[in-house]
Amino acid sequence: MSGHVVITGAAGGIGHALADGFLKEGWRVTGIDLEDAAIAHPNYLHRRADITDEPWLATVFAEAAARMAIDAVIANAAVTDKDHRPALELDYAVWQQVLRINVDGAFLTARTAARHMPDGGNIMFVTSSLAFLEQAKANDAPYCASKSAVEMLMRILALELVPAGINVNSIFPSVKIDSGFFAHLDETERSDLARPDILNAAALFLASLEPGALTGVSVDQQRWDDDPDYRAMLEQGNLS
């Protein structure tokens, strides 16, 4: 299947890799980011937008829908505290910024997307293994908290959007990715980071689901890549 996917945070890192991967599979891609994207392709349209600016985001989605019906949306845009400070030393303004972009932005992206999917579609959130209780990590309070919130948001929207035929899922990497979040690591550690296109295969699967095929699921990228039984359960819609 190919169609039209809207990707936030498309200018770099995971978002840029996703846009490139979907284009190679014949999809039409609308990218959204505060920065310009270095993607030159006839099926790619880029719009600079703040995903927490609801009126402007609505305008961008309306333009995307007029271009072609929206089949899938990937809420990927996110930030972190790159200084990885402990909570007691974290400026409140930094906490607010991370939560606003990662949670408010994800909410507005998904809600706006759903309003442009009258015939169903697929919404996915890019989260993190740090979203889960057993993976709590010191010095990353705002990022961990924000991604946990997005995981719960995914489950609630999955329940609410069943009547509309919209599948809502999340996808998370199980390894550190060369996404720009790890500039604090030394050169040797950065050389071990995974490529930003590591989510592409699972994201293409989630973007191509038929209505009601699979919803409310957190997809583990590493298990998708390495475990055929896990992948088969997802393909059969048996994993919850």
Q: Give the residue-averaged pLDDT of 38-67.
A: 96
Q: What pLDDT was estimated at residue 127?
A: 95
More confident residue, 120 or 191: 120
Q: What pLDDT was estimated at residue 184?
A: 55
Please state, as a whole number, how many other Cβ atoms lie within 10 Å of the Cβ of residue 149.
18
Place domain 4-235 in its CATH homologous superfamily. Answer: NAD(P)-binding Rossmann-like Domain (3.40.50.720)
More confident residue, 154 or 134: 154
DSSP tag of 103: I
Domain definitions of the chain by residue range: 4-235
Inform me whether the pLDDT recorded for 82 exceeds 90. Answer: no
Q: What is the dihedral of CA 34, 146, 113, 222, to 10 degrees?
A: 100
Percent of the chain surpassing pLDDT 90: 78
Catalytic positions are: 128, 143, 147
Give φ, ψ of 107 to 5 degrees: -60, -50
- The full DSSP string for 174-209 is SS-BSSSTTTTS-HHHHTTPBPGGGGHHHHHHHHTP
Inform me whether the pLDDT recorded for 191 exceeds 60. Answer: no
Percent of the chain surpassing pLDDT 70: 91
Nearest to 15 by CA among 71, 63, 76: 76
6, 43 in Cβ contact below 8 A? no
pTM, full prediction: 0.92
